[in-house]
Amino acid sequence: MTRSPRPAQLERSALCDTALQVGEDQPTLCDGWDVKDLVVHLLVREGSPAAAGIVLSPLAGVTDAVSRRVGRRDFAVLVEKLRSGPPRLSPYAVPKVDSILNTLEFFVHHEDIRRAQAGWSPRDLGDHREKVLWSMLGTAGKGLLRGSPVGVTAENSVTGSRTVLKAGAPTVTVRGLPSEVTLFVFGRRTQADVELLGDDADLARLRGTSLGI
């Protein structure tokens, strides 16, 4: 029996399709990055030890140097390399690691491309993929919202399920589809279709906080 592709694989393939469709020099929601820059980032992240500089600022110069070198290659070649998956010896080549670390990464970055283009509209991901995103949101959201000055609870607008992303009072509730709440906590606030519930002052404090990585 042939197994269905994992959500991370589906988003990887869809991101590559969208990148080729819109073109390498088009904007993304990542400040200062065009589509090619984003593809290079994803390749370096899962294919080079220099990726350590993504999270360790003292090594950022090494990451930048490797990214510039990778970015000299033809865009279509880079996209197909990304589509083919991580290198065999990369930790991301392990299916479980791929699912844990790449499902949200590729979903958010795919939307970074899509939602930076004129005339974009939300995708219908289907119940299963929305459930997968919701199941991962609790862990990811807790890390991304550590610096929030208010408590934050996510509410699934379809099922009514709630999960605490940042404990504390007062609390703001972020209500929406799991996909949209995911985009919000990853810092794509102006493009995420969510409803924020709470006192005006608390909403303002949350809006004024830098979210995402």
Phi, psi dihedral angles at 156 (to 5 degrees): -75, 115
Check whether 117 has a pLDDT greater than 90: yes
Name the pLDDT band for 49 (thresholds 50, 70, 90). Answer: confident
Above 60 in pLDDT, residue 1?
Answer: no
- Contact indicator for 132, 7 with CB cutoff of 8 Å: yes
Arithmetic mean of pLDDT, 99-123: 95
Residue 90, Cα to own-chain centre: how many angstroms?
20
Q: Which tens digit of pLDDT belongs to each residue from 171-184?
A: 999 999 999 999 99
User: Chain-wide mean pLDDT for the chain?
Assistant: 92
Residue 213, pLDDT score: 61
pLDDT for 208 = 83
Give residue-wise pLDDT tens across range 11-46: 999 999 999 999 999 999 999 999 999 999 999 999
- Greater confidence (175 vs 4) lies with 175
For residue 3, what pLDDT band results from cuts at 50, 70 and 90?
A: low
Residue type, 152: V
Tokens representing residue 62 in the block: 């090494």
Give the rounded percent of residues in the chain with a pLDDT score beyond 90.
75
* HEC assignment per residue over the chain: CCCCCCHHHHHHHHHHHHHHHHCCCCECCCCCCEHHHHHHHHHHHHHCHHHHHHCCHHHHHHHHHHHHHHCCCCHHHHHHHHHCCCCCCCHHHCHHHHHHHHHHHHHHHHHHHHCCCCCCCCCCCCHHHHHHHHHHHHHHHHHHCCCCCCEEEEEECCCCCEEEEECCCCEEEEEECHHHHHHHHCCCCCCCCCEEECCHHHHHHHHCCCCCC
Which pair of tokens denotes residue 129? Answer: 């993929």
Paired tokens of 50: 């220099």
Q: With beta carbons less than 8 A apart as the criterion, state whether 144 and 200 touch.
A: no
pLDDT, average across residues 87-101:
91
pLDDT at 2: 52
Which pLDDT tens digit goes with each residue over 51-75?
777 776 887 888 889 899 999 999 9
pTM: 0.92
Identify the pLDDT of residue 64: 85
Tally the C-alpha atoms within 13 A of residue 47's C-alpha that lie toward its C-beta. Answer: 18
Amino acid 56: pLDDT: 67
Nearest to 73 by CA among 93, 102, 44: 44
Do 158 and 182 touch, CB atoms closer than 8 A? no
CA angle 27, 48, 32 (to 5 degrees): 20
